[in-house]
């Protein structure tokens, strides 16, 4: 499914970053931001990531996914509201259509937690 | 002491696909081509719609089709009868086209034909209501199909495609009398999240609504200023 492709994109992006680092660090955790108004299901993404990173430099790396709710702005009522995904998207007060999405479309790598090799050496000794 | 570092990336996961899509669009623009991305769940009627469209518009405009059939060339073969270039993309097990796959199709168009001759490229995406909406391929407009047999609630349950579409074709309307379906309700559900969308009721079987669809295509071709620009340069 599409989570496989999203995971591929994720791995490629992280690999690019990894290769640009000197010395190459040890990646501990990747933080993602995933909006609720996207096609990505966080649990499927985690699963796909675990499967696709087996036996790679990313094996065992934790994927932390921050869920961002769908928030729209109603210009008639001049207020934000939270559409009820799957049921109703128009403004609950005045029924104006959803035409201004303020959040929920995000699909991005926020940050990467890593430690450098020297530190691992320090830790080991 | 164990110290970790943070690298702020803030990179969009679809960044690479988006860059590829923009690149494809630049190619289309340079050649004066308008590209439509046609999406729906499996079997909503994309290929039949393309057949009807080619039949009527192929003498008026120079058209090519990029066909994203999952694994077979069945759909492509149906369309070749109309004597237009049909470029099949084998998407393998992917459930949507992405900009890289379509770039392959564009490459074929460029090398086997004269791309400057074309006005319109119709891309039939893989039948899937969920994923294609997230992957732009370089289109100038998105067309979504929803057949009356799928139910009024589909736009609410799978909103992203309907929210992004420029035109919605509610297809197989000839079947509506046999079903318990409220056509206006489909339209209302879509307008809840996409008030400016063009909605056309269509039956490829009776031909109802086809002329409105052709009018919409012509309007898009006129609106897209690329032809105009490229003749100025
Ligand atoms: N009654 C009726 N049947 C239709 C209509 N449009 C399409 N069909 C039928 O629906 C079935 C699927 O049509 P296709 O055009 O192959 O659908 P598609 O969206 O291209 O399917 P995939 O490419 O497999 O996703 C075929 O059996 C068509 O004959 C219509 O307007 N009315
Ligand atoms: Mg088809
Ligand atoms: Zn309101």
**Residues B182-188: contacts with CB under 8 Å, at least 24 apart:** B182/B152, B183/B148, B185/B152, B186/B146, B186/B148, B186/B152, B186/B155
Top-tier CATH class for A2-69+104-124: alpha beta
Distance CA B143, CA A101 (A): 21
**A79-112 pLDDT per residue, tens:** 999 999 999 999 999 999 999 999 999 999 999 9
Between CA B47 and CA B25, with CA B38 as vertex, the angle to 5 degrees is 130
Domain that holds residue B193: 2-231
What pTM does this model have?
A: 0.91
The verdict on the CB of residue B75 being under 6 Å from ligand 1 is yes
The residues spanned by each domain of chain A are 2-69+104-124, 70-103
Q: For residue B133, which residues of chain A lie inside 8 Å, CB to CB?
A: 39
Residue B104 binned pLDDT confidence (cut-offs 50, 70, 90): very high
Nearby residues for ligand 3 (ion, Cβ within 5 Å): A 74, 76-77, 91, 93-94, 96
The verdict on the CB of residue B209 being under 6 Å from ligand 1 is no
- Compute the half-sphere exposure of residue B55: CA atoms within 13 Å on the CB side of its CA: 11
Q: How many domains does chain B have?
A: 1
**B10-69 pLDDT per residue, tens:** 888 888 899 999 999 999 999 999 999 999 999 999 999 999 999 999 999 999 999 997
Residue B209 maps to which CATH number?
3.40.50.300
The verdict on the CB of residue B99 being under 6 Å from ligand 1 is no
Instruction: Give the SS3 label for residue A34.
Output: strand
**B194-211 pLDDT per residue, tens:** 999 999 999 999 999 999
Read out DSSP for A48-114? HHHHHHTTSTTTT-EEEEEEE--EEEETTTTEEE--BTTTB-S-TTT------EEES--EEEEEEEE
* Cβ pair A115:B133 closer than 8 A: no
Which of B95, B159, B193 faces A2 most closely, judged by CB atoms?
A: B95
With residue B28 as reference, give the H or E element that holds it.
helix B15-31
Which of B2, B6, B135 faces A111 most closely, judged by CB atoms?
A: B6
């Amino acid at each position: 499914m599409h989570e496989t492709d999203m995971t591929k994109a994720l791995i490629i992006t992280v690999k690019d970053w990894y290769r640009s680092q000197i010395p190459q660090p040890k990646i501990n955790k990747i933080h993602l931001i995933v909006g609720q108004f996207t096609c990505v299901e966080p649990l499927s993404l985690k699963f796909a990531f675990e499967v696709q990173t087996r036996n790679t430099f990313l094996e065992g790396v934790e994927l932390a996914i921050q869920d961002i709710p769908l928030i729209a702005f109603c210009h008639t009522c001049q207020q934000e509201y939270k559409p009820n995904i799957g049921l109703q998207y128009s403004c609950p007060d005045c029924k104006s259509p959803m035409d201004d999405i303020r959040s929920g479309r995000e699909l991005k790598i926020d940050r990467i937690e890593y430690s450098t090799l020297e530190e691992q050496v320090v830790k080991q000794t | 002491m164990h110290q970790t570092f943070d690298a702020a990336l803030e990179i969009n996961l679809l960044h690479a696909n988006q860059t590829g899509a923009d690149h494809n669009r630049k190619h289309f623009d340079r050649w004066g081509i308008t590209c439509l991305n046609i999406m729906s769940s499996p079997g909503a009627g994309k290929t039949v719609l393309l057949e009807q469209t080619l039949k009527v518009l192929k003498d008026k405009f120079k058209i090519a089709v990029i066909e994203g059939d999952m694994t077979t060339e069945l759909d492509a073969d149906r369309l070749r009868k109309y004597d237009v270039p049909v470029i099949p993309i084998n998407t393998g097990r992917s459930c949507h086209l992405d900009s890289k796959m379509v770039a392959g199709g564009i490459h074929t168009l460029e090398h086997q034909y004269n791309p400057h001759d074309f006005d319109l490229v119709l891309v039939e995406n893989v039948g899937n209501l969920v994923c294609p909406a997230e992957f732009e391929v370089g289109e100038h407009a998105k067309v979504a199909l929803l057949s009356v047999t799928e139910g009024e609630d589909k736009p609410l349950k799978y909103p992203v495609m309907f929210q992004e579409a420029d035109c919605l074709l509610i297809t197989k309307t000839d079947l509506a009398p046999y079903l318990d379906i409220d056509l206006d309700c489909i339209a209302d559900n879509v307008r809840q999240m996409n008030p400016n969308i063009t909605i056309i009721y269509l039956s490829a079987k009776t031909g109802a609504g086809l002329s409105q669809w052709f009018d919409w295509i012509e309007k898009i071709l006129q609106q897209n200023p690329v032809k105009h620009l490229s003749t100025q340069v």
